[in-house]
Amino acid sequence: MTEELQRDKTFEPSGVQGKLKIVLHDVSGTLIRALGTIERRGYDYRDVHCTQRVDGDFDLLVHIEDTGGPSNLDTLCKQLERLYNVVSAEKVGRRRHAERA
């Protein structure tokens, strides 16, 4: 086999981690569709929480880490928002302390 076809780098996670908050409508298949999209786009879960809101929608909070593919959490959020019955997907994290004037 020629050099061109050999893997040119070790398949290692780049260490991209993050938390996403995803709001889902309460419709069959939406939860598994969202979780599956996250895995298929190259991320592992570190933590998953899902709770129902008073309006009937669900808040899905996931802590994820990349598995070595191209990692871009903004793109992942857009891919999640592309799914029907996903209301929104956004990165969340510790807020910086407001700087004093």
Partner 1 sequence: MTTAKQFDRQETEVATDREPKSGSLLLLEAIAAQGVDTIFGYPGGAIMPVYDVLPQIKSLRHILCRHEQGCGMAAIGYARATGRTGTAFATSGPGATNLITAIADAYLDSVPVVFVTGQVPSNLMGTDAFQEVDIFGMTLPVVKHSYIVRDPADIPGMVAEAYFIAAEGRPGPVLIDLPKDVANAMTTQRHKWRPYPKQKPEMGESHQIAKAEELMREAKKPLFYIGGGIAQGDGVAELRELVERTQIPVVSTLKGLGSLPSDHPNYLGMLGMHGLRAANYAVQECDLLIVAGARFDDRATGKLDTFAPEAKVIHMDIDIAEINKLRAVDASLDGSLKKNLAAIDPFEGGAAPDIEDWKELCYSRRAMHEWDYDGAQAKAYPGVYAPKLLHDLSRRADAMFKNETAAIITCDVGQHQMWVAQHCYFDEPKDHITSGGLGTMGFGLPAGLGAKLGAPERTVITVSGDGSIMMNIQELATLNRYGISLKIVLLDNSVLGMVRQWQEVFFDKNYSETTLDDNPDFALVAKAFQIEAFTVNTADEVDAGIDRLLKTDGPVLMHVKIDPNENVWPLVPPGRSNADMMER
Residues engaged in binding partner 1 (CB under 8 A): 1-2, 4-5, 8, 25-33, 36, 40, 56, 58, 70, 72, 74-75, 78-79, 81-85
Find the shortest distance in angstroms from Cβ 82 to partner 1: 5
Nearer to partner 1, 82 or 91 (CB): 82
Find the shortest distance in angstroms from Cβ 26 to partner 1: 4
Rounded CA-CA distance 17/10 in Å is: 19
DSSP letters for 35-63: HHHHHHTTEEEEEEEEEE-TTS-EEEEEE
Nearer to partner 1, 1 or 54 (CB): 1
Rounded CA-CA distance 98/52 in Å is: 31
Using CA atoms in the order 9, 45, 26, 21, what is the torsion angle rounded to 10 degrees? -90
Find the shortest distance in angstroms from Cβ 71 to partner 1: 11
Nearer to partner 1, 61 or 83 (CB): 83
| Amino acid identity, position 45 | Y
